[in-house]
Amino acid sequence: MDKVYVQGMAFYGFHGAFKEENKLGQRFYADVIMEMDTKKPGKTDDLDDTVNYALVYETAKEVLEGDPVKLVETLTDKLSRLILERFELVQAVTVKITKPDPPIPGHYDSVAVEVRRERGFEEL
């Protein structure tokens, strides 16, 4: 399966387990890898035959700038499900959400969660 990458999307959201995170907000980054057949758009050079990257960005923006959640795991799951729901050509998707500068004493880089979902995966 071919892969289409939309990486380094940056958003400002109010997600986190602590009230301060929900009040002050912070940056979040999203990386998306979509597994799909790109033979047709490769031949036709037609945007209608593939996934519009701008719409993928808007979907990520909706989730990451949307209603606050506590966990990065929730964000990655929600975004992966929406991509599979909205983009029929995508057979599987890997979503990585990075939260830089988490409020963890002595930790100054980032935390990230990556999930892979495919069409037809079982619900929990």
Angle CA(107)–CA(70)–CA(99) in degrees, nearest 5? 40
Alpha-carbon distances of 34 from 93, 119, 122, rounded to whole Å: 5, 11, 19
Q: Is 19 a catalytic residue?
A: no
Residue 20 to residue 16: CA distance in whole angstroms: 8
Catalytically annotated residues:
99
